[in-house]
Chain A
Amino acid sequence: MLIGELINTSRDAVRMAVESRDDSFIRELAEEQEKAGADYIDVNCGSMIGQESEAMRWLVKIVQEVASVPLCIDSPSPEVLELGLASSREKSPMINSVSAETERFREIIPLATRYGAKVIALCMDDGGVPASADDRVKIAGRLVTDLSQAGVALDDIFLDPLVQPISTSETAGREVLRAVDAIRSAHPDAHLVSGLSNVSFGLPSRKLLNRTFLVQLMSAGMDAFLVDPLDRDLMGAYYASAALLGLDEFGIGYIEQFRAGAFE
């Protein structure tokens, strides 16, 4: 499962488009991502301080004019999340994100149940971001228990193990891979999700590291990713890896991508 990450006002072009209410730019970005294979379209305007609510309302409206896939509403603010969810007409939007931090969990869970939303759940708690695989697995377990108790179906839970850069700790990638493997075994019916760019911070040729890590994460059992769906090399690695792991019956999806010219 792929979540297209490009509609984010931390990217200059998107910020400018939102500020000038350039709806055709946003529409095009939504359409392109869906066409390239995004199953969800992430909408993040957290950088528009003081104007985030209005920006979210506008973005959700514009993106929904063209996208047939559901939205992933991305904000640290419960109010903005609620606003985005309320204006989302799709049955199952996604919330990005909840965590095991006491206050954040308490504020956001009612939204998940009220809107029947899928939930990205970050494996961090009041102690912060864990360093080891074991701590990630523990927090993931707690999140699954607490989310289930709150009425969120396992199939709607997307656990994010929080990838950190290998440039500052060479075991950062390995710890996440170990965590993914263990979480997958412990919670086979929940999903595992991650962004890819953190891992390569501070290193050259980041896209090479990002897509190699994508393949490794898939092998460890991760099944959802926040990505730039317009990155053809990355998408090629995704479809090839899915076929090789037996996630794509007879490799039909891979063949479809080939026919569509995705590997040229």
Chain B
Amino acid sequence: MSYEEIREQVAKGNAPKVKELTEAALAQGTPPQEILQEGLIPAMDTVGEKFQAGEIFVSEMMIAARAMYASLDLIKPLLATQQSVTKGKAIVGTVKGDLHDIGKNLVAMLMEGGGYEVVDLGINVPPSKFVDAIREQNPDIVLLSALLTTTMPAMEETIRAIEAAGLRGSIAIGVGGAPVTQEFAERIGADFYAPDASAAVSQANRVLAGS
């Protein structure tokens, strides 16, 4: 077993093979942490870079993520409990009053594909639910989605609620959705704007690298 082989098979999206390689590595006494650090995370970094460069497509990123999880599901229970096993943790949700989940689901899937642990709060999420989830989950990134101009004000409401709860400092907030703009994101005090689902991943990477 070599880490290069695991990385290669993750990039190819070959979940059964990745699972087999992980099982073999664990049987040989390889530390799970090493499989993660030398195999999975660099593999997903490469996948993410290729995706952002337009060399691979969403489907290929999806199957790579699935392959990563075939291994991660095996090694996760073996790692120390408090240990972060991914690039970071992200909470995603469509804001109050808005029931559109296509864009939000894409963001959730691509974030997962990009190596993040994702907590999906669903649609029509009131500000208080975001606040509670931030308290419970302690995320690095919070991503708000809105598809309607009529529900965009709920994004601002959500950010204000997070501030009022004293949780603003610990997280980076990103906003996106068809009618959302850079200008709007700045005006309501978001940390970044993502014009599409893949940009959410690259922006999250950029923000975390900067902090």
Contact between A202 and B101, CB atoms less than 8 A apart: no
Contact between A203 and B149, CB atoms less than 8 A apart: no
Interface string of A41-57 (1 = CB under 8 A from B): 00000110100100000
Contact between A128 and B59, CB atoms less than 8 A apart: no
- Which of A49, A75, A101, A202: most chain B CB closer than 10 A? A202
B121 at the interface (CB under 8 A from A): no
Contact between A168 and B105, CB atoms less than 8 A apart: yes
Complex CA gap A198/B100 in Å reads 13
Complex CA gap A168/B150 in Å reads 27
Chief secondary structure at chain B's binding surface: loop
Closest chain A CB from B102 CB (angstroms):
6
Contact between B123 and A128, CB atoms less than 8 A apart: yes
Interface string of A119-155 (1 = CB under 8 A from B): 0000011111100000000000000000000000000
Contact between A52 and B149, CB atoms less than 8 A apart: yes
Contact between A168 and B101, CB atoms less than 8 A apart: no
A246 at the interface (CB under 8 A from B): no
Complex CA gap A10/B148 in Å reads 13
Complex CA gap A201/B102 in Å reads 11
Contact between A47 and B57, CB atoms less than 8 A apart: no
Contact between A46 and B99, CB atoms less than 8 A apart: no
Known A-B contacts A128-B99, A203-B57; the reply to A76 vs B149 at CB < 8 A is yes
Residue of B nearest to A203 (CB): B57
Which of A47, A124, A168, A198 meets B109, CB within 8 Å?
A: A168
Contact between B57 and A167, CB atoms less than 8 A apart: yes
A257 at the interface (CB under 8 A from B): no
Closest chain A CB from B193 CB (angstroms):
13
Contact between A49 and B123, CB atoms less than 8 A apart: no
Which of B58, B150, B178, B184 meets A201, CB within 8 Å?
A: B58
Contact between A167 and B101, CB atoms less than 8 A apart: no
A164 at the interface (CB under 8 A from B): yes
Complex CA gap A128/B105 in Å reads 12
Q: How many of chain B's residues touch chain A, expressed as a range?
A: 20 to 34
A253 at the interface (CB under 8 A from B): no
A204 at the interface (CB under 8 A from B): yes
How many chain A residues have a CB neighbour from B under 8 Å?
26
Closest chain B CB from A188 CB (angstroms):
29
Interface string of B95-110 (1 = CB under 8 A from A): 0000111100110010
Which of B100, B148, B184 meets A128, CB within 8 Å?
A: B100
B152 at the interface (CB under 8 A from A): yes
Q: Which residues of A contact B84 (CB under 8 A)?
A: none
Known A-B contacts A47-B179, A167-B59, A168-B106; the reply to A124 vs B184 at CB < 8 A is no
Q: Which residues of A contact B59 (CB under 8 A)?
A: 166-168, 202-203
Residue of A nearest to B149 (CB): A46
Closest chain A CB from B104 CB (angstroms):
10
Complex CA gap A101/B147 in Å reads 14
Contact between A168 and B62, CB atoms less than 8 A apart: yes
A77 at the interface (CB under 8 A from B): yes
Which of A47, A124, A162, A167 meets B58, CB within 8 Å?
A: A167
Which of A46, A77, A129, A204 meets B102, CB within 8 Å?
A: A129
A165 at the interface (CB under 8 A from B): yes
Residue of A nearest to B113 (CB): A168
Complex CA gap A161/B153 in Å reads 27
Contact between A129 and B101, CB atoms less than 8 A apart: yes
Closest chain B CB from A213 CB (angstroms):
16
Known A-B contacts A168-B109, A202-B57; the reply to A10 vs B178 at CB < 8 A is yes
Closest chain A CB from B17 CB (angstroms):
20
Q: State which residues 110-154 of B face A: CB under 8 Å.
A: 122-124, 147-152
Contact between B149 and A49, CB atoms less than 8 A apart: yes
Interface string of A180-218 (1 = CB under 8 A from B): 000000000000000000100111100000000000000
A-B contact pairs, 10 of them (CB 8 A): A46-B148, A49-B152, A75-B149, A76-B150, A124-B100, A128-B101, A164-B102, A165-B102, A167-B62, A202-B58
The 9 closest A-B pairs by CB, nearest first: A202-B58, A167-B58, A76-B148, A128-B99, A167-B59, A128-B123, A76-B150, A46-B149, A128-B101
Q: Which residues of B contact A (CB under 8 A)?
A: 57-59, 62, 99-102, 105-106, 109, 122-124, 147-152, 178-179, 181, 184, 198
